[in-house]
């Protein structure tokens, strides 16, 4: 009899504890771009690696603003994102990259729902951040380190140009790049979303500079086209028609064939944002957390591209670099 009473008491205690247990907290991930974009894949991997370990319930929403760039689409999809927030009722939202900051997070400045941003190329102040309920992680390319790596591979480089698409991501980058002090001259910063203009500029630069830098090329489209071209097609054309050493600041561009770069990491951006999210879910206020910026970059060299350009990778550079085949 006593044993039965003891078992019953234990069962009642377990039920009581279960009833008082805190339900799984919900985090909504809102991405500026589409799910199979390699940068998004890396950001997702970084964020989920932290959040899933904490038992957080995750849902995702994609603004798809790399492929669809019209004002009409941005208006529609931002409204869809707000509806998603209302339906899912998250405890916290993480927004990835500048368009999600502009189209979604800004609407919630000063409200009770906490937001964490990451992958931000612009200045936080341009979006009204940090705010009482909004904090996060900025993305800053490793421009000086990349140029240093380039000149170790090709010491006689004296001047270069940087070519990029004309996107919100590129605008923040160009603003910083133009004010940077570098060991070589960047004689031109060129941005366009027109593929014909892009091709003409790459060809023109062959006789004007010693190297070409590539930032993003994901909002390039044909004349009068509404959707962006597949970025791998833009990069393939560029590499096939460029005979100069090329450099970048993004790891997926090097895996796509660009020679070298000290790169920023989507994984590190996502992880850092998720770490902040966990702090907030555990009771810290966003206003008490500082804006963060991962300092470390990854030195990467594309060996195939080096061979195509007849560049020998020095042994001392190899010691500190990841070499892609």
The ranges of the chain annotated as CATH 3.40.50.2300 are 25-139+266-288, 143-263+298-324
Average pLDDT over residues 233-239: 98
Which neighbouring-strand residues pair with 115? 93, 134
Output the CA angle 63-68-73, nearest 5 degrees. Answer: 70
Taking the model in full, what pTM does it have? 0.80
Q: Three-state DSSP class for 194?
A: strand
Q: Is 256 exposed, middle or buried (0-12, 13-18, 19+ CB in 10 A)?
A: buried
Lowest mean pLDDT among 11-15, 197-201, 266-270, 294-298: 11-15
95-114 pLDDT tens trace: 999 999 999 999 999 999 99
Q: Looking at domain 25-139+266-288, does it have CATH number 3.40.50.2300?
A: yes
Cβ atoms of 111 and 131 closer than 8 Å: no
- CATH classification for the domain delimited by 143-263+298-324, as one of 3.10.310.30, 1.20.1730.10, 3.30.70.120, 3.40.50.2300: 3.40.50.2300
Beta-carbon count within 10 A of 4 CB: 8
pLDDT at 297: 84
Pick from 221, 256, 260, 254: which is nearest to 236 by CA? 256
Cα 286 from Cα 218, distance rounded (Å)? 32
The bridge status of strand 115-120 relative to strand 92-96 is: parallel
Residue 57: pLDDT over 80: yes
What band does 8 get if pLDDT is binned at 50, 70 and 90? very low
Distances (CA, A) of 129 to 100, 104, 109, 243: 13, 13, 8, 42
Residue 9: pLDDT over 90: no
Residue 255: pLDDT over 70: yes
Cβ atoms of 101 and 129 closer than 8 Å: yes
Structural tokens at position 201: 């500029």
């Amino acid at each position: 009899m006593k044993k039965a009473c003891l078992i019953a008491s234990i069962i009642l205690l377990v039920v009581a504890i279960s009833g008082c247990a805190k339900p799984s907290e919900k985090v909504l991930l809102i991405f500026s771009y589409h799910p199979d974009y390699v940068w998004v894949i890396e950001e997702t991997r970084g964020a989920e690696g932290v959040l899933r370990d904490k038992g957080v319930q995750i849902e995702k929403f994609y603004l798809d603003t790399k492929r669809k760039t019209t004002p009409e689409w941005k208006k529609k999809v931002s409204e869809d994102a707000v509806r998603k927030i209302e339906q899912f009722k998250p405890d916290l939202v993480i927004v990835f990259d500048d368009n999600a900051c502009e189209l979604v997070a800004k609407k919630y400045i000063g409200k009770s729902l906490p937001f964490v941003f990451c992958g931000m190329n612009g200045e936080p102040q341009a979006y009204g951040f940090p705010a009482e309920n909004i904090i996060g992680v900025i993305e800053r390319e490793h421009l000086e380190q990349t140029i240093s790596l380039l000149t170790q591979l090709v010491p006689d480089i004296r001047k270069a140009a940087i070519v990029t698409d004309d996107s919100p991501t590129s605008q923040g980058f160009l603003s910083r790049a133009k004010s940077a002090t570098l060991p070589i001259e960047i004689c031109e910063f060129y941005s366009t979303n027109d593929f014909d203009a892009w091709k003409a500029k790459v060809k023109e630069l062959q006789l004007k500079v010693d190297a070409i830098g590539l930032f993003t090329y994901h909002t390039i489209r044909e004349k009068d086209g509404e959707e962006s071209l597949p970025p791998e097609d833009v990069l393939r054309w560029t590499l096939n028609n460029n005979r100069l050493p090329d450099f970048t600041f993004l790891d997926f561009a090097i895996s796509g064939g660009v020679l070298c770069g000290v790169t920023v990491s989507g994984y590190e951006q996502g992880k850092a944002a998720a770490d902040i999210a966990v702090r907030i879910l555990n009771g810290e206020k966003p206003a008490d957390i500082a804006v963060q910026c991962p300092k470390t970059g990854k030195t990467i060299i594309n060996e195939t591209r080096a061979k195509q350009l007849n560049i020998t990778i020095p042994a001392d550079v190899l010691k500190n670099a990841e070499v892609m085949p």
